[in-house]
């Protein structure tokens, strides 16, 4: 009889209720890893070297995928009861929700069709990431050369996005364009 009861007790699956703090921590970690993968330049800036061979992909399908990812993260976040969390944890959840809602809402406007602003743009990204790129060993240099080799595809995707913006009549105002040409000219040097 005792053996039967013990067997039955051991056969019952253990159900653990998810801890909202652990759920949130897991979601934030998953979101962070996704951000690093989707934005290799940002990964480099944050000291993560796993993506140093890569450049971002910015074709319309990539932006659509990121929007779907953000919407899915938001769905998962809304399934976590933030009211059950300590103040600091709840604030983390609220900040993540703000970021995700912002990303999903802005995606509707397809801002990727204007990848150049008066003071920044895709063409300057590589300049900024070089300063954060480690050059300690042979692998670091190989990663950098691989990234440079991938750069033309990144530029081509941004140019295609701008052409789409032109077709859609979605562009920067003419006045802003006066400051953009010097930012391109500054990239041209006699001795690289």
71-80 own/partner pairs: CB under 8 Å, 24+ apart: 71/100, 71/104, 73/27, 73/30, 73/31, 73/34, 73/100, 74/100, 74/101, 74/104, 76/27, 77/24, 77/27, 80/20, 80/23, 80/24, 80/27
How large is the average pLDDT for residues 51-69?
Answer: 98
Please give the pLDDT value at position 66: 98
Q: Which of 21-25, 37-41, 48-52, 170-174 has the lowest mean pLDDT?
A: 170-174
Residue 27 pLDDT level (bands cut at 50, 70, 90): very high
156 in Cβ contact with 96 (< 8 Å):
no
pTM here is 0.82
Please give the pLDDT value at position 22: 96
Which tens digits make up the pLDDT trace of 143-189? 999 999 999 999 999 999 999 999 999 998 888 777 777 777 777 78
Please give the pLDDT value at position 2: 58
Q: How far apart are CA 180 and CA 90, in angstroms?
A: 41
Residue 15 pLDDT level (bands cut at 50, 70, 90): very low
Please give the pLDDT value at position 13: 56
Please give the pLDDT value at position 163: 97
Q: Per-residue pLDDT for 36 more than 80? A: yes
How large is the average pLDDT for residues 42-53?
Answer: 96
Burial of 115-153, coded b for 16+ CB within 10 Å and e otherwise, reads bbeeeebbbbbbeebeeebeeeeeeeeebbeebeebeee
Please give the pLDDT value at position 181: 74
Which tens digits make up the pLDDT trace of 79-103? 999 999 999 999 999 999 999 999 9
Supply the mean pLDDT for the chain: 90
């Amino acid at each position: 009889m005792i053996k039967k009861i013990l067997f039955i007790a051991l056969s019952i699956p253990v159900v653990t209720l998810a801890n909202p703090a652990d759920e949130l921590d897991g979601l934030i970690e998953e979101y962070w890893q996704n951000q690093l993968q989707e934005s290799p330049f940002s990964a480099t800036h944050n000291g993560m070297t796993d993506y140093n061979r890569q450049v971002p992909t910015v074709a319309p399908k990539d932006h659509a995928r990121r929007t779907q990812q953000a919407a899915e993260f938001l769905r998962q976040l809304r399934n976590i009861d933030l009211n059950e969390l300590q103040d600091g944890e709840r604030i983390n959840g609220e900040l993540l929700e703000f970021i995700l809602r912002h990303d999903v809402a802005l995606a509707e406007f397809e801002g990727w069709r204007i990848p150049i602003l008066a003071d920044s743009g895709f063409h300057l990204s590589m300049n900024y990431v070089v300063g954060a790129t480690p050059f300690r060993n042979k692998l670091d240099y190989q990663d950098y050369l691989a990234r440079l080799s991938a750069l033309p595809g990144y530029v081509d995707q941004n140019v295609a996005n701008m052409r789409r913006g032109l077709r859609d009549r979605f562009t920067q105002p003419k006045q802003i364009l006066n400051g953009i040409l010097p930012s391109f000219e500054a990239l041209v040097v006699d001795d690289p």
